[in-house]
Amino acid sequence: MNHKLTLYAAAAAFAFSAMPAFAQSVDDQVDKAEQRQDRIDRNINIPGSAAQAFLLEANDGSTIAFNFAAPVTWNNNIDLVENGPKLASVHINPAVRLEWRSAGAVQIFAGFNADHDFYTQGSDYDASTLGARIGMRLVDDSLGGVRPYAYYSPLIVYGGGFTDKQATLHNITIGLGNTLELGGGTQLTSDLSATRREASFRALEQDRVSAAVALSGQFGEKLGWLAEQSAQHRWYTGGVNQGRKDLNLATTLALSYAVSESGVLDIGVTFERNTSDRIAKDYSVWDAGPTLRFIMIF
């Protein structure tokens, strides 16, 4: 038995030695990158703001939106470790997204995004991404608030400032979103999706199922709030991660204030818990702080 474990460890070390050198594993870097993509997507429906205008799906023509976000948050575990000392740091994550979508019952959408994440206490953990997304969704009044969708989203993950390419991901996602108006400006949104990820390294390839539920509302005309719970079950299908299973849970609480028609200031906290059947892949992370966002509609 010990002989088999030794051979497995040696094979794992050899396989990952072919990946670019970095302060932590490439799969951890990829997980962080996708969490940052989720944060770009997160919006709170504040009356009178550009965020609300873009979230409203009924429009007379095609829509182009430019979204800029600048989170400045404190993270208590940038190493993503379970035991032993944890390295904490403030990190700054400016991100931009340009997105277009058509009008009509069948909406076509396409977008491009980029972000750079850098840490004040651990520059070896700095990372960047370039990504895109193209897909379609059905917006039909007969379905109520239900929105079926499908999209393809390539993502390139870099170490540092777009200088050290770590991995290329190809995600294909199908899903079903739903929005319920509960009255008084309160909304209950839910999302269920399935994703297949192909990657430049087989150890990063996976199938996953994701679910999220969010409750949001307003305190007056400019102040909004959000409580969101998400869950992902990930099945790794290649390389040294073959057979690995992870469960990732994330809880977010946030307040948003409309500083202008196009600007929103968020203050939020997220707790993420990952459990895995592989050694050294369990971790818990707190991430909290403000985010300034601007959304311009064309």
Residue 178 has pLDDT above 70, yes or no: yes
Distances in Å between the alpha carbon of 22 and those of 3, 45, 93, 117, 280? Answer: 29, 39, 19, 15, 17
Question: From the DSSP assignment, how many helices (H) and strands (E) are in the chain?
Answer: 3, 13
Q: Which amino acid is at 17?
A: S
Distance, in Å, from the CA atom of 183 to the CA atom of 125, rounded to the nearest integer, reads 44
Q: Which residues lie closer than 8 Å to 111 by C-beta, 6 or more apart?
A: 97, 98, 99, 100, 132, 133, 134
In this prediction, residues 100-123 reach a mean pLDDT of 89
pLDDT for 115: 94
In this prediction, residues 79-108 reach a mean pLDDT of 90
Closest CA to 42 of 259, 283, 268: 268
Residue with tokens 């917006």: 139
Residue 118 has pLDDT above 70, yes or no: yes
pLDDT for 50: 52
pLDDT for 56: 52
Residue 54 host element (H or E): helix 50-55
Q: What 3-state class would DSSP assign to 26?
A: helix
* CB-neighbour burial class of residue 10 (10 A; exposed 0-12, middle 13-18, buried 19+): exposed
Q: What 3-state class would DSSP assign to 41?
A: helix
Walk me through the domains of the chain, giving residue ranges and CATH numbers.
Answer: 2-297 (2.40.160.40)
In this prediction, residues 263-282 reach a mean pLDDT of 93
In this prediction, residues 132-140 reach a mean pLDDT of 91
Residue with tokens 């459990």: 275
CB-based contact 117:31 (threshold 8 Å): no
pLDDT for 44: 52
Closest CA to 130 of 151, 153, 155: 155
Q: Which residues lie closer than 8 Å to 82 by C-beta, 6 or more apart?
A: 280, 282, 283, 284
Q: Which amino acid is at 215?
A: L
pTM: 0.85
pLDDT band at 163 (very low <50, low <70, confident <90, very high): confident
CB-based contact 225:254 (threshold 8 Å): yes
pLDDT band at 168 (very low <50, low <70, confident <90, very high): very high
In this prediction, residues 99-119 reach a mean pLDDT of 90
Q: For residue range 17-76, what is the model confidence (pLDDT) as tens digits?
A: 344 444 567 888 888 888 887 776 665 555 545 555 555 544 456 688 888 989 999 999
Closest CA to 76 of 290, 247, 272: 272
Distance, in Å, from the CA atom of 270 to the CA atom of 118, rounded to the nearest integer, reads 18
pLDDT for 23: 56
